[in-house]
């Protein structure tokens, strides 16, 4: 471990700092280690100049805290967050906080950077994340949506609804040989986004009687652009609710900043849809705002 005299790549930088390679990868992904300053062909990967690498070498004692914290699984950071915040932190809330940008997933893996969990202290965001990240089985999802289980299954078949994971089915009458060893679990926020989408006829689905054909059977498969719309509506719903928590909690500047960001994102996406030639672009802001006016009690 010594000061470098030439440009170094990621593996060589790890040797300079005396770290393991994956520790440097984590620090680089979180911008603890600054972006490389040597212009090289992309095939050669990132490289740091002797000046920048030498500066990191001089700060190695300061950076050691980041190295020691490293990355961890959700179940490893949950007890630490619970002890520090004084409230329970469900596993689903950890994943939802990552979707919201409060926690950082390391290089797209299923691990989270410990130091982002160390500095997190937003109890309002945690409460919203717990609600929107909660999981529901098919029956519970149908009850939440006010429809039959067959309607939920049709939405899943058409790819409008995707499970966040598959859970073991512990029903005593179910065996693995029957092919029903696992059941889909759907995210609460995804179910809310579906209710807010203007192209789904919820009135017809809720009026359907047992034995009748599901109105969702005629749906086309949910394509990528529609998936982006659903994600945007879900983000808008969640952000709107969190903004209200901020507002009534006295954090009005944060609430206004959050709402303005949602409005700008929705407007930009609306323009993008029109430029692509979409005959009927969906206004995200109008979609989730009209939903809140129609059935705000679902968010409680």
Residue with the two structure tokens 């050691």:
64
User: Three-state DSSP class for 36?
Assistant: coil
Nearest to 58 by CA among 105, 20, 23, 17: 17
Residue with the two structure tokens 């409460």:
127
Report yes or no on 55 lying in a domain.
yes
State whether 168 and 281 are in the same domain.
yes
State whether 235 and 196 are in the same domain.
yes
| Full residue range of the structural domain in which residue 277 is found | 135-299
Nearest to 161 by CA among 179, 136, 180, 181: 136
State whether 61 and 83 are in the same domain.
no
DSSP-assigned letters across all residues of 103-130 = S-BGGGSS-EEHHHHHH---HHHHHHHH
Report for 10-14, 160-164, 221-225, 239-243: range of highest mean pLDDT: 160-164
For residues 78-105, average pLDDT: 93
Residue 8 dihedral angles phi and psi, to the nearest 5°: -125, 150
State whether 83 and 180 are in the same domain.
no
State whether 178 and 289 are in the same domain.
yes
State whether 227 and 100 are in the same domain.
no
Residue with the two structure tokens 């002890």:
83
CA dist 213 and 146 (Å) reads 16
**The total number of structural domains that make up the chain:** 3
Report yes or no on 127 lying in a domain.
no
Report yes or no on 5 lying in a domain.
no
User: Three-state DSSP class for 193?
Assistant: helix
State whether 210 and 91 are in the same domain.
no
State whether 24 and 80 are in the same domain.
no
Report yes or no on 129 lying in a domain.
no
CA dist 150 and 153 (Å) reads 5
Query: Which letter does DSSP use for residue 35 in this model?
Result: P
For residues 54-79, average pLDDT: 81
State whether 141 and 287 are in the same domain.
yes
Cα separations in angstroms, 56 against 3, 12, 266:
9, 13, 41
Nearest to 247 by CA among 258, 237, 257, 255: 255
State whether 79 and 194 are in the same domain.
no
CA dist 66 and 68 (Å) reads 5
pLDDT at position 298, please? 44
Domain boundary residue, one of 69, 88, 110: 69
Residues 110-158: pLDDT tens digits? Answer: 888 887 888 899 999 999 999 999 999 999 999 999 999 999 999 999 9
Report yes or no on 282 lying in a domain.
yes
CA dist 168 and 194 (Å) reads 25
């Amino acid at each position: 471990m010594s000061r470098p005299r030439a440009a170094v790549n990621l593996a060589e930088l790890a040797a300079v700092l005396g770290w393991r390679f994956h520790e440097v990868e984590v620090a680089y992904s979180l911008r603890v280690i600054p972006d490389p300053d040597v212009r090289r062909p992309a095939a050669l990967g990132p490289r740091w100049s002797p000046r920048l690498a030498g500066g990191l070498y001089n700060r190695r004692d300061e950076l050691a805290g980041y190295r020691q914290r490293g990355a961890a699984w959700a179940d490893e950071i949950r007890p630490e967050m619970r002890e520090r915040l004084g409230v329970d932190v469900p596993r689903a809330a950890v994943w939802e906080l990552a979707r919201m940008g409060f926690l950082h997933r390391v290089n797209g893996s299923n691990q989270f950077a410990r130091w982002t969990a160390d500095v997190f202290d937003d109890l309002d965001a945690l409460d919203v994340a717990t609600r929107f990240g909660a999981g529901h089985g098919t029956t519970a999802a149908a009850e939440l949506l006010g429809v039959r289980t067959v309607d939920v299954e049709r939405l899943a078949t058409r790819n409008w609804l995707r499970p966040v994971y598959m859970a073991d089915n512990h029903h005593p009458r179910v065996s693995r040989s029957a092919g029903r060893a696992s059941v889909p679990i759907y995210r609460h926020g995804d179910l809310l986004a579906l209710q807010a989408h203007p192209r789904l006829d919820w009135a017809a689905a809720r009026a359907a009687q047992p034995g009748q054909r599901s109105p969702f059977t005629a749906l086309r498969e949910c394509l990528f652009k529609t998936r982006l719309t659903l994600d945007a509506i879900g983000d808008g719903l969640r952000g709107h609710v969190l903004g209200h928590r901020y507002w009534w909690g006295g954090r009005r500047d944060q609430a206004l900043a959050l709402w303005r960001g949602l409005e700008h994102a929705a407007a930009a996406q609306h323009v993008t849809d029109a430029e692509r030639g979409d005959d009927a672009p969906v206004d995200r802001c109008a979609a989730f705002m009209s939903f809140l006016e129609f059935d705000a009690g679902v968010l409680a």
